Amino acid sequence: MREITATGQTVEEAVESALAQLNTTRDLTDISIVDEGKKGLFGLFGARPAVVKVKEKPTVIEIAESFLQTVLKQMEIDAEIDVVREDERNVIFNITGEKMGLLIGKRGQTINSLQYLTQLAANRHSKHYLTIILNPEDYRERRKQTLMQLAERLASKSMHLGKPVTLEPMPNYERKVIHTALSDNPKVATLSEGEEPNRYVVIRPKQ
């Protein structure tokens, strides 16, 4: 986050100067007045310029990364985060370091909970919701393969029993994997039920 101190004959001029130098707008910055300035006698004698400090507000991604680093530190996990922005609404945080097993947790429960909390922290004051995926040591790709296999196995179970099969609660990203894996299966249908963060997928045989 960049910060700049600027001066001007008035506070407004000083602010405009700072915004121009930062190439940003008021809504993306925090502005503090250091000195309102003084016109002086006849506009000359004793005059003092106005002084302001303008600091860029952290982006949603920066807020998320800062929150995540704080939690990792509290967990005594020393890790590096590589931010990969897929598009305007989806960002992947690739995480490398020690104790990744501890970070992932049993069946991904720890990393999924942390991912949910990271998204809450990032989007608390954001106008546009950002989906953040935490990916320690390529865990998401391995998990994706596991989920696809699980989807096929439970689809077969649902068809064999002739009744719906309910999966455990999953984050939105993982539910999409299940839905996609079975989207071309003509014998079963999938739907998500429940409330976040406990929404889950139901696989049911088609009539």
In angstroms, rounded to a whole number, what is the distance separating the alpha carbons of residues 48 and 26? 24
In angstroms, rounded to a whole number, what is the distance separating the alpha carbons of residues 122 and 198? 20
Lookup: tokens for 207? 């009539």
pLDDT, position 63: 92
pLDDT, position 126: 77
Q: Report, in angstroms and rounded to the nearest whole number, the Rg of the chain calculated over CA atoms.
A: 26
Q: pLDDT in tens for each of the 207 residues of the chain?
A: 789 898 888 899 989 998 999 899 898 899 999 988 887 665 556 678 889 999 998 988 999 999 999 999 999 999 999 999 878 888 999 999 999 999 999 888 899 999 999 999 999 877 788 899 999 999 999 999 999 999 999 999 999 999 999 999 998 889 999 999 999 999 999 999 999 889 999 999 997
Reported in sequence order, the residue ranges of 36-150 that DSSP labels E, i.e. its strands, are: 50-56, 79-85, 90-97, 131-136
Give CA angle at 46 (44, 48), nearest 5°.
90
Is the entire prediction scored with pTM above 0.95? no
pLDDT, position 84: 92
* Torsion, CA 118, CA 122, CA 127, CA 132, rounded to 10: -50
Phi and psi for 193 in degrees, rounded to 5? -135, 165
In angstroms, rounded to a whole number, what is the distance separating the alpha carbons of residues 41 and 60? 47
pLDDT, position 83: 94
Domains of the chain, earliest start first: 3-56 (3.30.30), 60-137 (3.30.300.20), 142-205 (3.30.1370.50)
